[in-house]
Amino acid sequence: MHVVFECKAGDNPDVRSGVDHLYGIINNSKRDGQEWKGVVVVDQQFNDIGKEHFTFAGNRGISIWSIETLKRYQNLIEALNPDLALLSLLKAEFGYVQSTLEIISVPAIKTTRFGKDIYSFTIPANILMKLVYVSRATESISSEENEDGYQRIVNPRRLSEIAKIIEEKEIEANFPNNLIVAFGDNVEFEPIKGDLGFLKIPKRYGVAWLIDGQHRLFSFCKIKDPQLKENFSFLVSGFVGLKASEQAKIFRTINNEQKRIDPNLIDFILSKELEGGYLSIAAKTILEFRHNNIFDTDIKCGFNKGWLNLHTLVRALTEYGLITSRGGLIQKDSSDDKTPLKILKNYFGAIKESCRSNWKKGKSKSGFVQTNNGLAILIWALSKILKYEDTGDKERNLNKADKKLFRKYLDKLNYFRFEDEWRKANSEASRKDIVEVLLNKMNRNVH
């Protein structure tokens, strides 16, 4: 495979000319029978690249990388090594994996739980590193998120800390907890006696997805002793036939109670679970606004820089009854994920128009409506407004929840002075007081 890059810099880089240039190069080069890919690297943040550029490039088979994507692979080279970073790049960005006919055979024990086959086996670290693929929750190179991404970015400092423990060869380096991987239908089990047998694994990168244990495994990139890499074997539990959403559920279950896991990342993972319930719907709804650039600042998902917290907004939607396990105020039923998006788009649009001056202040010291507290409080106010407007007919309630209805209330806040200290309200009681102040201004009858 050949990959051609073109870089565009400046305040308003000419992305289209770069795409057209690469498109011409690739078309002329295809005659040699080789596979060619093109990437335009833009010196911009992900959210600053217009969606029309992604569409234009995608129609021509060209990818667009933001500057963050380039930095991410630079960091991956430094954290792991150039070889593993390249394998990751080729698979993640271009779906390319070098084929091989070699098979690795390892002794394994087969267990079947709830209809899923699990294989327990041991394998040397230096071999496993070249087989597994980590799907990381990061910015996508397209206009959409990587739908299967759920893992965290690798932490180089943590790799070095674990490597130091291993190199001391003490008892704590034994890692009693298994690494967890997921195979597709690409492995075969050859039974010998009962549940004992040999697991046949194709020797190629990406044959398994590493669900949990990336820092333990990739700490061996920091170990200099080749014998230690070759002789140290990990205990591995390998699932077969898991869907991406099921892998994400396992990762979330393992890590949800650990304080070091960013709750924004947990909610991002939930957004990828097709059967994740009301929390998944709430997270997915908020992330749609991230794609559509509703807010002037990015939403923090646990892997990116952002001012608004995904977790804060998801919690507001669910705790104040807008999206619930039984069907919230902005849902037709518990599985409805379309109506919440429509109603919230109307509501946030009404806030932007009615509170225009404060909206423009964004995250500045005097800004409120585009802050975490501000949006959470306004979502709480929305629940109060919808309850007040309740007609007793669910369908009628949802149909009339449009921008016109919301402007009727929010226009009263046009010249309203939002107190600076409201941004720091950190208790439910103080937020409730602020909601009451706003509702009193909008309509004294709403409580």
The pLDDT of residue 121 is above 90: yes
Q: Are residues 215 and 112 in the same domain?
A: yes
Q: With contact defined as beta carbons under 8 Å apart, do 213 and 179 qualify? A: yes
The pLDDT of residue 172 is above 80: no
Look at residue 98 and tell me if it is in a domain. no
Q: From CA 224, how far away is CA 166, in angstroms rounded?
A: 11
The pLDDT of residue 276 is above 90: no
Look at residue 284 and tell me if it is in a domain. yes
Give the pLDDT score at 396: 95
Give the pLDDT score at 261: 64
306: left (phi over 0), alpha (psi -120 to 50) or beta: beta
Q: What is the pLDDT of residues 4-56, one digit of tens each?
A: 888 877 777 778 888 898 888 888 876 666 778 888 888 776 667 777 888 88
Look at residue 208 and tell me if it is in a domain. yes
The pLDDT of residue 104 is above 60: yes
For residue 111, give both structure tokens.
């267990």
Q: From CA 278, how far away is CA 322, in angstroms rounded?
A: 10
Q: From CA 198, how far away is CA 399, in angstroms rounded?
A: 59
Amino acid at 214: Q
Whose CA is closest to 71, among 132, 145, 138? Answer: 138
What percent of the chain is predicted at pLDDT more than 90?
Answer: 42
Q: Are residues 319 and 223 in the same domain?
A: no
The pLDDT of residue 169 is above 70: yes
Q: From CA 341, how far away is CA 338, in angstroms rounded?
A: 5
Q: With contact defined as beta carbons under 8 Å apart, do 286 and 298 qualify? A: no
Q: Are residues 174 and 302 in the same domain?
A: no
* DSSP H or E segment with residue 40: strand 36-42
Look at residue 199 and tell me if it is in a domain. yes
The pLDDT of residue 171 is above 70: no
pLDDT band at 123 (very low <50, low <70, confident <90, very high): very high
Burial of 23 (0-12, 13-18, 19+ CB in 10 A): middle
For residue 297, give both structure tokens.
């600042």
Alpha helices, DSSP H, located in 132-225:
156-167, 214-218
Q: Are residues 244 and 338 in the same domain?
A: no
Q: Give Rg (Cα) of the chain.
A: 25
Torsion, Cα 268 272 275 277, to 10 degrees, reads 20
The pLDDT of residue 150 is above 50: no
Helices (H), strands (E): how many in the chain?
18, 13
Give the pLDDT score at 152: 57
Domain boundary among 224, 249, 274: 249
Distances (CA, A) of 238 to 7, 15, 63, 204, 412: 41, 43, 33, 16, 59
Look at residue 447 and tell me if it is in a domain. no
The pLDDT of residue 224 is above 50: yes
Beta strands in 227-336 (DSSP E): 233-240, 299-300, 308-309
Chain centre distance of CA 413: 35
Q: Are residues 287 and 426 in the same domain?
A: yes
For residue 256, give both structure tokens.
């949800």
Q: Are residues 245 and 366 in the same domain?
A: no
pLDDT band at 426 (very low <50, low <70, confident <90, very high): confident
Look at residue 88 and tell me if it is in a domain. no
Q: Are residues 354 and 213 in the same domain?
A: no
Look at residue 369 and tell me if it is in a domain. yes
Count of domains forming the chain: 3
The pLDDT of residue 439 is above 50: yes
Amino acid at 20: D
- Please state the pTM of the whole predicted model: 0.60
Higher pLDDT among residues 291 and 405, named by residue: 405
Q: What is the pLDDT of residues 357-372, one digit of tens each?
A: 999 998 888 899 999 9
Higher pLDDT among residues 442 and 153, named by residue: 442
Give the pLDDT score at 147: 41
What percent of the chain is predicted at pLDDT more than 70?
Answer: 89
Q: With contact defined as beta carbons under 8 Å apart, do 378 and 313 qualify? A: no
Q: From CA 232, how far away is CA 230, in angstroms rounded?
A: 6
Q: Are residues 232 and 267 in the same domain?
A: no
Mean pLDDT estimate for the chain: 85
The pLDDT of residue 148 is above 60: no
Beta strands in 215-305 (DSSP E): 233-240, 299-300
The pLDDT of residue 218 is above 80: yes
Give the pLDDT score at 442: 94
The pLDDT of residue 317 is above 90: yes
Q: What is the mean pLDDT of residues 160-164?
A: 90
Give the pLDDT score at 137: 53
Amino acid at 333: D
Q: What does residue 242 show for φ and ψ, rounded to 5 degrees?
A: -75, 140
Secondary structure (3-state) at 100:
coil
User: In terms of DSSP bridges, do strands 188-193 and 208-212 run parallel, antiparallel, or are they unpaired?
Assistant: unpaired
Domain boundary among 249, 276, 294: 249
CB count within 10 Å of CB 73 equals 16
The pLDDT of residue 411 is above 50: yes
Q: What is the mean pLDDT of residues 338-343?
A: 96
pLDDT band at 142 (very low <50, low <70, confident <90, very high): very low
Q: Are residues 173 and 218 in the same domain?
A: yes
Per the structure, the complete domain to which residue 72 belongs is given by 2-79
Higher pLDDT among residues 269 and 315, named by residue: 315
The pLDDT of residue 441 is above 60: yes
Vertex 29: Cα angle to 23 and 30 (nearest 5):
90
Give the pLDDT score at 409: 96
Higher pLDDT among residues 267 and 200, named by residue: 200
Query: Which residues sit opposite 41 in a β-bridge?
Result: 7, 65
Q: Are residues 153 and 72 in the same domain?
A: no
Q: Are residues 25 and 143 in the same domain?
A: no
Give the pLDDT score at 146: 44
pLDDT band at 331 (very low <50, low <70, confident <90, very high): very high
Q: From CA 364, how far away is CA 335, in angstroms rounded?
A: 37
Q: Are residues 70 and 115 in the same domain?
A: no
The pLDDT of residue 141 is above 60: no
Distances (CA, A) of 107 to 31, 205, 207, 337: 46, 20, 18, 45
Look at residue 86 and tell me if it is in a domain. no
